[in-house]
Structure 1
Amino acid sequence: MNVINIMWAGGSPFVSVHKVHQQILSLVPPEISVNSWLLQGQGAACVPGPSREWNLPQRLIKGRHVWGLLQPWLRARLRKALIEAQADALLLDGLGVSRLILPVLRGLPEVKATVVFHGKTRLHPRDVALLCGFKPAQLSLVAVSATLAASLQAELGLKVTALRTALEPTRFCDEQLTAQQAREVMGLREPGVRIMGAVGRLVMDKGFDYLIDAFAAASRTQPDLRLVILGEGPERPLLQQKIQALGLQGKVSLTGHCDILGRLYQAFDWLLVPSRAEGLGLVLQEAVIAGVPVLCSDLPVFHEQLGDSGLYARVGDVQEWAAAIERCASLPATAVAQAQHRSLAPEQAWECFSRTLREMWAVKPDSGSQ
């Protein structure tokens, strides 16, 4: 069986998406061959196994304006490549990739596809028609959380399987740097401070804009607090301006993207996740597995993972977040982290994730395997 893992691109904006696909593909049986295609840009090192970088212009992939006239040519090229690769199944990275690839499969009914939804997606009527135009035997839809799966299923009227992404906890913990090592990597050498961390791409949905406002208020009564935001993105200039306007230089750091980000969680006393929307929020899992307590937005997907052990604050509510940050500073962090670890149950979550994927990747007798 030959599986083609088709993704948008590599690089820091897609780190969390690549992590999800890496976890899914890590459980592929050895008798299945996997190749990854990156439609745009570089980043072959981000994906497992052999890979191909197509380096397609974004306007061509999306078919915008006059570029739409070239999409039939592109799809013909992709069809030829799939036939040459003897693809039996495709793993598609969300709706954007699916819009390009799924029309190709109308002429290849023997090729099965699985679309992985990573977050809330704006579905146009043509998207619904595209997804509904395939039989369940050829097209499967999965979402990275039960919350996201239920939302998509209600909107589409199609079955969407909840495949709550999980990390292999033992390996993840073994890769963690100590708190001192992690702080050295990030250049955090100020003694006697408590570090509140935040991780994610610098975009509006991550909520770092109002988090900085909340931290400014909390730090007036907690002068030993520091906020470190790990990530890169288009909102950096606006966030930097806010830091300067609030006089938070030296207290709030935008440290940029780090290739070993997943090993640095123990640098933080708390992780703050102020997202306005999330499909899963993998950083929450990473922090809890690493033994770091989490304060997060009051989103259903976070309740799904932490239940009553979670500490929540309303999305965008600066006063509530400021009060919650102050409260965190006085709570027993170790006890909170342990309670959240029990709720997340990483070992059981990984076993459930693995079992579901083993069933998904099971090689059927008619698949051509020996």
Structure 2
Amino acid sequence: MSILNVMWSGDSAFASVHKVHLQILAQVEPATTINTWLLQGSARGCVAKIGETREWHLSSNQLKGKRFWKLLTLWIQARFYHALNQSDVRVLLLDGLGTARALLPVLKKLPQLRAVVLFHGATRISAADRKSLSRLPASQLTLAAVSQTLANALEADLQIPVITLRSALDPLGFRSRLLSREQARARLQLPVDSTPVVGAVGRLVGKKGFACLIEAFAEALIQRPQLRLVIIGEGQARAALEAQVNQLGLRDKVLLPGNLDDAATLYRAFDWVAIPSLEEGLGLILQEAVMAGVPVLASELAVFREQLAEAGCYVATEDATAWSEALIQAFSVASVSVAAAQSTVLSPDDAWLDFSQVARRLLSCSE
């Protein structure tokens, strides 16, 4: 028997989602076979391409049944049915609501299969979604979310139980791959001296709040002229962010290196990590930074308080003045003490143990 990992897209922009699935699937019994479907995109950009990987090359319009593709929805579902019926798959790990919309109608005809739908962030749920999710019995469908905050919100909306599978990383494995401060700074072409550097990691999209961070950084430079800012990631907002950097005269102060495959090894290049997101399902960047021993400044979001409680340093979302003040203040405190307190509260070893146990239970082929 095997598990099928179904991803919405193989695009590198979904790297954080890929990483979560990779961590979950690493917990299954060694004898279990795992294969992957990519509904969109290529396996080339997907770190969660586990086992035999099938690329379906479907567009968003095809998957969502938009325009004339609505007429071919049953044809696409028939292809899914045939592929599943010919396999020994018993458990499917589905990446979010979009993937569930495409696959759950098929599962009604395959009662021997069980699906786990993993929600990575807030999503718009329609009446049709509620109906679809309620049609399958609890023995065949499990809903899970990457944080307690997200699980509570989904449960209130759907009126269906949602399990919390708070994503976590193996602390020993993660730390073993970290570069030293000098190595990480050299990789990013930063000064290897004591120059203060703020780091950020994430897709370059509006909801990540990087425009606010750049504005705040420009204000902070008035009092902290030695500061540097590095934002690792790629996305549709790149042109706008580059224009903002140029307009503020920050080309020598702000680095936008794009997607870096080794981004998770570079945290020690930073003195602080900023997470100015407007919303997050969990925010693995927070966990990675804390495990690297780097203190975090984060938006005032419930999901961040869930992880860091009173040890967190929180800033109002989309408030450039507040972020500027927070950046200035950050370099006036003992950052080592802040990082240690955040690590104690996050408790990465315990979080990893809890995550591993829940993941194994959810994906057990014997359930």
Shared topology, TM-score over 0.5?
yes
1:5 alignment partner, SS class: strand
Which amino acid is 1:166 matched to? A
**2:116–2:362 contact (8 Å) kept in structure 1:** no
1:333 equivalent in structure 2 = 335
Distance 2:361 2:61 in 1: 37
What does the per-residue CA deviation read over 1:193-212, in whole Å, with 9 as the maximum and x for residues that have no partner? 11100100000110001111
Determine the structure 2 residue equivalent to 1:177.
179
CA–CA separation in structure 1 for the residues paired with 2:333 and 2:360:
41
In structure 2, list runs of 5 or more residues that go unmatched: none
| Structure 2 Cα separation of the partners of residues 199 and 33 of structure 1 | 33
After TM superposition, list the pairs within 5 Å mapping 1:66-81 onto structure 2: 66-81=68-83
* 1:60 positional shift: 1.0
2:225 corresponds in structure 1 to 223
* 1:34 paired residue number: 34
Once the two structures are TM-superposed, the CA of residue 345 in structure 1 deviates from its matched residue by 0.1
Report if the CA contact (8 A) 1:29-1:361 is conserved: no
Q: What is the rounded CA distance, in whole Å, between the counterparts of 1:57 and 1:303 in structure 2?
A: 37
Q: Is this contact kept in 1: 2:232–2:260, CA < 8 A?
A: yes
- 1:10 paired residue number: 10
Note if contact 1:145-1:163 (Cα within 8 Å) is conserved in structure 2.
yes
State the 1:58 CA deviation: 2.5
Residue of 194, 205, 208 corresponding to 1:206: 208
1:148 Cα offset (Å): 0.3
Preserved CA contact (<8 Å) 1:39 1:55: yes
Q: d(CA) in 2 for partners of 1:358 and 1:230?
A: 32
Residue number in structure 1 paired with 2:351: 349
Correspondence 1:1-370 to 2 at 5 A = 1-43=1-43, 46-47=47-48, 48-189=50-191, 191-364=193-366
1:106-143 CA-partner distances (Å, limit 9, x unpaired): 11111110000000011111111111111111100000
In structure 1, how many angstroms separate the alpha carbons of the residues matched to 2:26 and 2:193? 40
Percent identity over the alignment is 46
What is the CA-CA distance between 1:230 and the residue it aligns to? 0.2
Aligned-residue offset at 1:250: 0.6
Unaligned runs of 5+ in 1: none
Q: 1:214 to 1:151 in 2, by over 3 A?
A: same
Query: Residue 46 of structure 1 aligns to a residue in which SS?
Result: coil
Contact 2:204 2:233 in 1 (8 A): yes
2: CA distance between counterparts of 1:361 and 1:113? 9
For residues 138-194 of structure 1, give each alpha carbon's deviation from its aligned partner in whole angstroms, at most 9, with x where no partner exists: 100000000000000000000000110110000100000111111111122374411
Higher mean C-alpha displacement, 181-190 vs 101-110: 181-190
> How far, CA to CA, are the matches of 2:278 and 2:79 in structure 1?
39
Between Structure 1 and Structure 2, how many residues are aligned?
365
Deviation at residue 361 of structure 1 after TM alignment: 3.3
Give the Å deviation of 1:50. 2.1
Deviating above 6 A after TM superposition, structure 1's stretches of 4 or more consecutive aligned residues are none
Contact 1:243/1:252 (8 A) holds in 2: yes
* 1: CA distance, partners of 2:225 / 2:293: 24
Measured in 1, the distance between the counterparts of 2:91 and 2:327 equals 47
Q: Please give the TM-score of this superposition, normalised by the length of structure 2.
A: 0.97
1:337-370 per-residue CA deviation (whole Å, 9 max, x = no partner) reads 1110001000000011112123223443xx7xxx
Q: Distance in 1 between matches of 2:287 and 2:193?
A: 28
Q: Is the 8 A contact 1:192 1:224 kept in 2?
A: no
Q: What is the identity, as a one-letter code, of the residue corresponding to 2:245?
A: I
CA shift for structure 1 position 301? 0.3
Output the aligned Cα RMSD: 1.2
Secondary structure (helix, strand or coil) at the match of 1:76 reads helix
TM-score, structure 1 normalization: 0.96
Q: Write the deviation string for residues 24-74 of structure 1: whole angstroms up to 9, x where unpaired.
A: 000010122111111111125512222111222222112111111111111
Question: Is the 2:182–2:192 Cα contact (8 Å) retained in structure 1?
Answer: no
